[in-house]
Amino acid sequence: MALDRWTFSGRTPGSATGDPVSRPPWLRDAVEGVELRPGRRAGASTRRGCRKGRAGSRVQPFLNGEQTVYLTLARHGETTWSRTGQHTGRTDLPLTERGQAQARALAVRLEGSEFDAMLSSPSQRARDTAAATGREFATDERLVELDYGAYEGLTTVQIRGRRPAWDLWFDGCPDGETVDDVALRVDAVLQDLIESGARSALLVGHSHTFRVLAARYLGMEPQAGRLFRLDTATLSELGEYHARPVVVRWNTSDHLA
């Protein structure tokens, strides 16, 4: 089965200025098979909109053809900020000693696995994790972590001390990104993988970016990524079951024991 046709109900994620953007070719108008809750119209939002515009839509993917793009997602190893819960977007931190050990454990876990495509975020923590596998990765700027803007380096507790009702998934970050902005990036990554004909891909990257990517792969709004916890140096797999995109495994850490 191939992820070569997706259908889309509602409007696409807004641009950084809040203006609608063109739909990728794999996002189509609503077709039969899209399920809406009773009393809800296509595109109705579930919560308040983001500062920069949001994907107030319900997405339903359909898989056709002869193959599915199976994704293996490896989050980078520990950094000093991930250990303390500080939001790390564009700050380019190296791995800690523990993070380096985690990266080596990931490499052992992946031994014997083959992938048609291997992509890494350009951030040092992701590149170092990828390098530990001994494989050759292409760097993809679209896999960088969400830009936390004015909240870079702060913990959630610190942010809510200033803004008690803040919720990253619905409010975004001042001078940074919203999850809808990230969705635009990962949608493009998924589209490129589909068009390349790859049957499997290994991606090394970051928590919020991968959580949004998982939601989009599964046909959900970007905000649904809030339901997927993702710890450092864990492995996750997305694939297909009975012609539906599914979570094969998520946030596994048995290789770190």
Catalytic residues: 76, 145
Q: How many residues does the chain have?
A: 257
**177 close to 209: Cβ distance less than 8 angstroms:** no
Extract the runs of DSSP E, i.e. beta strands, from the chain.
Answer: 2-9, 27-28, 58-64, 70-75, 117-120, 138-139, 200-205, 235-241, 244-252
Residue 53, CA atoms < 13 Å, CB-side half-sphere: 15
Burial class (CB in 10 A: 0-12, 13-18, 19+), 106: buried
Find residue 71's DSSP bridge partners: 201, 238
Bridge-based pairing of strands 117-120 and 235-241 is unpaired
**CA-CA distance, 123 to 121, in Å (whole number)?**
5
Q: Residues 252, 187, 121, 174: is their CA dihedral positive or negative?
A: negative
- From residue 226, give the alpha-carbon distance in Å to each of 119, 152, 212, 214, 221: 23, 19, 8, 10, 10
- Identify the burial level of 164 via C-beta atoms within 10 angstroms of its C-beta, where 0-12 means exposed, 13-18 middle and 19 or more buried: exposed
